[in-house]
């Protein structure tokens, strides 16, 4: 039996060789190679580039600050009409704000929502008694998370599963969507507002379920009654720090990964090495952080309704 080499491996090998040649040709990191046709002849030449890393990072991560410094008209990746109507709406708010960063964030959130909706509709359409591949994957996700929920909260409280699965899928798709190489695409979780909102909603769900299972007065006594709970002040601070810790963990991981990918890929111009970084910081860290977020939410709920 002869071992067949797969065509993908061969393509990767060719890319690797081309890369190594290009890196040796370019020689200096401050220069960039320009390859193209000039006067009908193929030629390679060095181009001196003014590449400021600080400015690039500012453009990528603090888009409001960037356009405030440069004063240019913002380059709009989506629809111009949508942006103009959003800008018109932003004037009615109590606090005047630069709508560019908010518009980008809302656009990415909308894209994630549409992706999730399309996924749901597609899976629903292909439901069958003999499951297809996609159905198997989603049933696997659902049943394994349902198992965690019923392990932590008990069999009778398995109705928390839809919330947990929604949280996991939303954060997971948010972390994955930044890997699509389209200009202007970013992870919505890179902006602090999204994890902060998710963490706040987790704490709201925790207290709502505690009130539901223990009664409002019983639950409130943990935070106002010094006889029943001598450390009630610490508990109040602990509720705030819950929100901060759960949201800053997700935010810091995704932002740090994105900055590392940007810095490394600007240092090495022609190497496909950033794909490996994307594999680690995008796929691995993104999945782990989405999982950790949902597990922590589940643990908070479980601790509050245990008695």
Partner 1 sequence: MNLTLAQGIVKASALLGAGLCMGMGALGPGIGEGFVAGKACEGIARSPENASLITRTMLVGQAVSESTGIYSLVIALLLIFST
Instruction: Please report how the helices 161-176 and 193-214 are oriented relative to each other, as an axis angle in degrees rounded to 10.
Output: 170
What is the pairing mode between strands 31-38 and 41-48? antiparallel
Counting contacts by CB under 8 A, is residue 167 touching partner 1? no
Q: Which residue, 104 or 253, has its beta carbon nearer to partner 1? A: 253
Q: Which residue, 79 or 245, has its beta carbon nearer to partner 1? A: 245
- Tell which positions 43-72 bind partner 1, by CB under 8 A: 57-58, 61-62
Counting contacts by CB under 8 A, is residue 215 touching partner 1? no
Q: Report which DSSP code applies to 30.
A: T
Counting contacts by CB under 8 A, is residue 253 touching partner 1? yes
Can you tell me the distance from the alpha carbon of 108 to that of 174, in angstroms, rounded to the nearest whole number? 9
Counting contacts by CB under 8 A, is residue 98 touching partner 1? no
Of 70, 256, 275, 303, which lies in the binding site for partner 1, with binding defined by CB under 8 A?
Answer: 256
Counting contacts by CB under 8 A, is residue 261 touching partner 1? no
Residue range at the interface with partner 1 (CB under 8 A); choices 75-83, 85-93, 133-141, 291-299: 291-299
Q: By the 8 A CB rule, do 183 and 77 touch?
A: yes
Q: How many CA atoms lie within 13 A of 13 on its CB side?
A: 6
Q: Which residue, 83 or 189, has its beta carbon nearer to partner 1? A: 189
Residue range at the interface with partner 1 (CB under 8 A); choices 35-43, 100-108, 126-134, 246-254: 246-254
DSSP string for residues in 189-218: GGSTHHHHHHHHHHHHHHHHHHHHHH-HHH
Nearest-5° Cα angle at 169, 178 to 108: 35
Number of residues located near partner 1, criterion CB under 8 A: 19
- Please give the helix or strand (H or E) that residue 102 lies within, else none: helix 99-125
Q: Which residue, 161 or 289, has its beta carbon nearer to partner 1? A: 289
Contact residues toward partner 1 (CB under 8 A) are 57-58, 61-62, 245, 248-249, 251-253, 255-256, 259, 288-289, 291-292, 295-296
């Amino acid at each position: 039996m002869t071992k067949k080499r797969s065509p993908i491996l061969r393509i990767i090998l060719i890319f690797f060789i081309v890369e190594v040649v290009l890196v040796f040709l370019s020689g200096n990191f401050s220069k960039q190679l320009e390859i193209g046709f000039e006067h009908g002849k193929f030629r390679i030449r060095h181009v001196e580039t003014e590449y400021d890393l600080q400015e690039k990072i500012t453009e990528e991560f603090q888009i409001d600050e960037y356009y405030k410094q440069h004063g240019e008209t913002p380059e709009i990746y989506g629809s111009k009409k949508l942006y103009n109507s959003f800008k018109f709406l932003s004037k009615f708010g109590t606090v005047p704000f630069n709508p560019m960063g908010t518009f980008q964030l809302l656009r990415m959130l909308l894209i994630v929502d549409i992706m999730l909706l399309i996924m749901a509709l597609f899976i629903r359409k292909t439901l069958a008694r003999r499951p297809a591949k996609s159905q198997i994957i989603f049933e696997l996700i659902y049943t394994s998370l349902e198992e965690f929920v019923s392990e932590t909260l008990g069999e009778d409280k398995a109705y928390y599963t839809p919330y947990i699965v929604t949280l996991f899928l939303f954060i997971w798709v948010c972390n994955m969507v930044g890997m699509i190489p389209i200009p202007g695409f970013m992870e919505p979780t890179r902006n602090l507002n999204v994890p902060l909102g998710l963490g706040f909603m987790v704490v709201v769900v925790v207290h709502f379920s505690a009130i539901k299972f223990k009664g409002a007065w019983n639950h409130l006594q943990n935070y106002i009654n010094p006889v029943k709970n001598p450390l009630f002040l610490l508990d109040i601070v602990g509720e705030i720090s819950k929100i901060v810790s759960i949201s800053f963990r997700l935010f810091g991981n995704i932002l740090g990964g994105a900055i590392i990918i940007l810095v490394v890929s600007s240092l090495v111009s022609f190497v496909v090495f950033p794909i490996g970084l994307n594999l680690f910081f995008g796929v691995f860290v993104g999945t782990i952080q989405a999982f950790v977020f949902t597990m922590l939410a589940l643990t908070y709920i479980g601790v509050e309704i245990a008695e």
